């Protein structure tokens, strides 16, 4: 009966198209009714899952990302990166990847990254000969670096659920994000040479000094955020609040690209998105409580251990599960749903919990643009009017690159754990 409530019922409801928060609530109620637990327990579990201080970073980073994307901060970073790359074939594509990397250091929202960098770079990419659909595919796939590179909302939620250090997860995420960015850049250069894409004309690029002067305030954003976290001035949650204040000051008073009316519109949009995330968090809190009290994780660990899988086979099996789930669920929902089930298994196998957190993050990032249900695909389709069939074909080379990097990150733990070793 427990298996029916925890696995069969949620999967059936998901296939029927029921919203994820409703799936979790119905499954939790069904599990309680089939057990000896009182129905009143769901209230404490759901509201208690929201009463967590680090969780406040989620809506704050969403808000900060929206302000930066619409307040000129992202555009100035792109201009600076393009001016520094210089006149090489594929410069615009590399600048797009680099801009996503830099923007990800200031925002934990992949959708915000796709919108901000896409609106800035796609017209230029199309004009420069990259074609109609390749630029959208590039931004759709590269935008998920925002999930992998700190400050990542996905890492924050994983840290809360798995009871791991969020700053340590942030440190481990940097090498993974950089590695994937370099692999994407190599592919873009190869693609540009194969298609004989022209070099960006000098007249289309700003000088480094001019671009650096304009982007000075934009560059200070990651310095303020991570300098404060690792300098011991504030926690990641407080850093999210500082990022919001900094973005408002720069966008409204220094760049003067946002009015108070536009800021209010951004605020309401961010509040709506945050509400959608947090209602899932609340519902998943009840579901996680049911999983914990049912004893199912212990049974699952015992069953998997009974198979006597080697660690590499176990990680491969979990990667496949995470990729499948990540392609149909948003990362926060997937983490809240699966972490209580999976982490006992990998911990028992001796996998480092911080390293596993990065494995989970990369898997769910890939799921964001993996056909047919990746959320970034639908976001790019809505934003740039590219047919989904073209997007499905366009992201396949990027999907192959991400999967190769995922295997490398999975089986070479030193990639993610070196920064922690240096810190110690």
- pLDDT at position 188 is 93
In a domain, 11, yes or no: no
Query: Is 25 domain-assigned?
Result: no
Residue 203: per-residue pLDDT: 43
pLDDT in tens, 153-193: 788 889 988 888 888 998 899 899 999 999 999 999 999 98
In a domain, 338, yes or no: yes
The larger pLDDT score, comparing residue 69 to residue 316, is at: 316
What distance in Å separates the CA atoms of residue 74 and residue 81, rounded to the nearest whole number? 11
pLDDT at 2: 61
Range in 62-71, 151-160, 312-321, 402-411 the model is least confident about: 62-71
pLDDT range class, residue 86, cuts 50, 70, 90 = low
Q: Answer yes or no: are the C-beta atoms of 366 and 104 closer than 8 Å.
A: no
DSSP state of 385: -
Tokens of 316: 């491969």
**408, 306, 403: which is closest to 355 by C-alpha?**
408
Closest CA to 198 of 89, 94, 81, 87: 89
More confident residue, 106 or 209: 209
pLDDT at 54 over 70: no
Is the per-residue pLDDT at 202 higher than 80? no
Considering the chain, what is the average pLDDT of its residues? 81
Per-residue pLDDT, 399: 94
What is the C-alpha to C-alpha distance for residues 355 and 359, in angstroms, rounded to an integer? 6
Does residue 345 form part of some domain?
yes
Task: Return contacts of 399-404, CB within 8 angstroms, 24+ apart.
Answer: 399/141, 399/366, 399/369, 399/370, 401/180, 401/183, 401/184, 401/187, 402/141, 402/144, 402/180, 402/362, 402/365, 402/366, 403/366, 404/183
The whole model's pTM is what?
A: 0.73
Mean pLDDT (whole number) for 238-262: 88
Q: Is 199 helix (H, G, I), strand (E, B) or coil?
A: coil
The residues, any chain, with a CB within 8 Å of residue 60's CB and separated by 6 or more, are: 237, 240, 241, 243, 244
> Using CA atoms, how far apart are residues 154 and 362, in angstroms rounded to an integer?
10
Residue 33 lies in a domain: no
- Which of 61, 106, 62 has its CA nearest to residue 223? 106
Give the residue, 8 or 264, on which the prediction is more confident: 264
**Does 208 fall in a domain?**
yes
- Lowest-confidence segment of 130-139, 187-196, 335-344 by average pLDDT: 335-344
Domain of 160?
A: 40-423
- Helical spans, DSSP H, in 195-259: 208-214, 216-230, 236-248
- 19 domain residue, yes or no: no
Domain membership of residue 382 (yes or no) is yes
Number of separate domains in the chain? 1
The 10s digit of each residue's pLDDT in 337-376 is 788 778 888 888 888 999 999 999 999 999 888 887 677 7
């Amino acid at each position: 009966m427990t298996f029916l409530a925890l696995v069969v019922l949620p999967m059936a409801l998901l296939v029927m198209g029921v919203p994820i928060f409703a799936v979790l609530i119905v499954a939790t109620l069904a599990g309680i009714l089939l057990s000896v637990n009182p129905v009143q327990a769901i209230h404490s579990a759901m509201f208690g899952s929201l009463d967590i201080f680090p969780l406040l970073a989620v809506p704050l980073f969403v808000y900060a990302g929206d302000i930066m994307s619409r307040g000129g901060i992202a555009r100035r970073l792109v201009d600076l990166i393009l001016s520094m790359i210089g006149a090489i074939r594929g410069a615009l594509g590399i600048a797009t990847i680099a801009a996503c990397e830099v923007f990800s250091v200031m925002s934990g929202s992949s959708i915000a990254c796709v919108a901000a960098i896409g609106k800035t770079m796609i017209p230029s990419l199309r004009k420069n000969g990259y074609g109609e659909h390749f630029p959208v595919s590039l931004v759709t796939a590269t935008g998920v670096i925002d999930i992998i590179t700190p400050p990542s909302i996905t890492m924050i939620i994983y840290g809360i659920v798995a009871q791991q250090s969020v700053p340590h997860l942030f440190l481990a995420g940097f090498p993974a994000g950089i590695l994937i960015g370099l692999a994407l850049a190599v592919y873009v250069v190869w693609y540009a040479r194969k298609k004989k894409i022209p070099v960006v004309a000098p007249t289309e690029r700003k000088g480094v000094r001019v671009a650096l002067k304009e982007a000075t305030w934009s560059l200070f954003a990651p310095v303020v955020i991570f300098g404060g976290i690792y300098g011991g001035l504030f926690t990641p949650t407080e850093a999210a609040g500082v990022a919001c204040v900094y973005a408002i000051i720069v966008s409204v008073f220094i760049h003067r690209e946002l009015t108070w009316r536009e800021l209010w519109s951004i605020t309401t949009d961010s509040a709506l998105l945050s509400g959608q995330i947090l209602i899932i968090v609340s519902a998943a809190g009840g579901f996680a409580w049911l999983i914990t009290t049912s004893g199912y994780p212990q049974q699952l660990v015992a069953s998997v251990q009974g198979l006597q899988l080697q660690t590499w086979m176990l990680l491969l099996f979990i990667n496949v599960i995470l990729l499948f789930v990540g392609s149909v669920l948003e990362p926060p929902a997937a983490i809240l749903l699966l972490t209580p089930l999976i982490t006992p298994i990998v911990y028992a196998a001796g996998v480092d919990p911080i390293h596993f957190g990065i494995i989970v993050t990369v898997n769910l990032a890939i799921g964001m643009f993996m056909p047919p249900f990746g959320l970034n695909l639908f976001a790019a389709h809505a934003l740039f009017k590219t047919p989904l069939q073209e997007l499905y074909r366009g992201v396949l080379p990027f999907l192959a690159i991400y999967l190769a990097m995922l295997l490398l990150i999975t089986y070479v733990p030193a990639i993610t754990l070196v920064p922690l070793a240096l810190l110690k």
